[in-house]
């Protein structure tokens, strides 16, 4: 009974931690993938939000324009967390506006993010005739663009080292300040049998499931729970009118005892 109670506590704490992280993810950035070479290994990835804000869309103060590039714009309200977040500061915060999570399709659609519409795409929206979004536009500030945050008396200010044009305005004027992606790998393979959290690595268009490969090989990591004997993760992204649902089922085994816990998490994908 003691052993089973310990396994239940370990599983519950692990699923609770993953759930809290997922609920702080950039809308439409969650993706789930099983390793094709090792079906005992499944990865959950998302982009971590340090702080959510609303941008100024009009007025006398600098506001965010979607018809031209921007080097400075204000937020409605002051920054509460991003200015003191050491991880965000060390990795140069990035700004996300209206991530639709659009994909171009393929065998694994999530590994083929649409340029200018998906935070995992490393390219800007392509040039085409009468196309949407505007050529050169993005949903996340590009790598190499320094983001400087500051608080004024009543509003925050975001300054970009190079001009950036975001693809689509958010219906609710939302933006997210982000630091790095986060990956949880549940590996029930013999000799591993653990869930590990990875963070502090660069965004990649293709979701990585092997911790020995880039970019996870250079990421910070921590073991969340051991004694994993099986993992199952399914994700339904939902729609603009309905939250997504991620279902996680893990089994822990130790000393002849096994327990199975399931956790479902609502994912707010309204950008």
Query: Rounded distance, CA 6 to CA 220, Å?
Result: 27
Closest C-alpha to 238, from 263, 262, 265, 267? 267
Query: Rounded distance, CA 129 to CA 120, Å?
Result: 24
- R_g of the chain, CA atoms, integer Å: 20
Using pLDDT thresholds of 50, 70 and 90, give the confidence band for residue 202: very high
Predicted confidence (pLDDT) at residue 238 exceeds the cutoff of 80: no
Place of tokens 């500030």: 141
Q: Residue 91: its pLDDT value, please?
A: 57
CA distances from 113 to 10, 14, 116, 128, 264 (A): 35, 29, 9, 18, 26
Predicted confidence (pLDDT) at residue 87 exceeds the cutoff of 70: no
Report, in this order, helix, strand and coil percent for the chain, each rounded to 5.
Answer: 15, 40, 45
CA-based max dimension of the chain: 68
Predicted confidence (pLDDT) at residue 65 exceeds the cutoff of 90: yes
* Dihedral, 220, 224, 227, 231 alpha carbons, nearest 10: -90
Using pLDDT thresholds of 50, 70 and 90, give the confidence band for residue 83: confident
Region 102-108: mean pLDDT is: 89
Using pLDDT thresholds of 50, 70 and 90, give the confidence band for residue 39: very high
Q: Could you tell me if 176 and 52 are in contact, meaning their C-beta atoms sit under 8 angstroms apart?
A: yes
Query: Rounded distance, CA 76 to CA 63, Å?
Result: 10
Query: Rounded distance, CA 165 to CA 82, Å?
Result: 22
- For the chain, what are the domain ranges? 2-48+180-267
Closest C-alpha to 252, from 209, 203, 204, 193? 193
pTM: 0.93
Structure tokens at 48: 């971590």
Query: Rounded distance, CA 76 to CA 250, Å?
Result: 42
Place of tokens 């020995």: 212
Closest C-alpha to 253, from 221, 223, 225? 225
Using pLDDT thresholds of 50, 70 and 90, give the confidence band for residue 88: low
Region 200-208: mean pLDDT is: 94
């Amino acid at each position: 009974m003691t052993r089973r109670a310990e396994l239940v506590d370990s599983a519950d704490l692990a699923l609770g931690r993953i759930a809290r992280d997922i609920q702080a993810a950039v809308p439409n950035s969650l993706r789930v993938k099983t390793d094709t070479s090792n079906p005992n290994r499944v990865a959950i990835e998302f982009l971590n939000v340090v702080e959510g804000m609303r941008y100024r869309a009009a007025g006398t103060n600098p506001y965010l324009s979607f018809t031209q590039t921007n080097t400075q714009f204000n937020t409605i309200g002051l920054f509460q967390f991003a200015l003191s977040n050491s991880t965000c500061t060390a990795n140069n915060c990035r700004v996300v506006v209206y991530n639709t999570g659009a994909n171009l399709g393929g065998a694994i659609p999530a590994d083929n993010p649409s340029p200018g519409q998906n935070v995992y795409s490393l390219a800007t929206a392509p040039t085409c005739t009468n196309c949407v979004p505007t050529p050169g536009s993005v949903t996340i500030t590009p790598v190499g663009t320094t983001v400087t945050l500051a608080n004024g008396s009543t509003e925050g200010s975001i300054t970009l080292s190079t001009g950036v044009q975001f693809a689509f305005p958010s219906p609710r004027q939302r933006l997210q300040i982000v630091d790095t992606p986060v990956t949880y790998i549940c590996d029930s393979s013999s000799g591993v049998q653990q869930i590990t959290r990875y963070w502090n690595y660069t965004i990649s268009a293709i979701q990585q499931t092997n911790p020995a490969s880039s970019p996870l090989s250079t990421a910070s990591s921590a073991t969340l729970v051991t004694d994993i004997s099986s993992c199952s993760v399914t994700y339904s992204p939902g729609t603009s009118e309905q939250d997504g649902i991620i279902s996680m089922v893990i089994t822990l085994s130790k000393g002849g005892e096994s327990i199975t816990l399931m956790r479902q998490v609502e994912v707010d994908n309204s950008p």
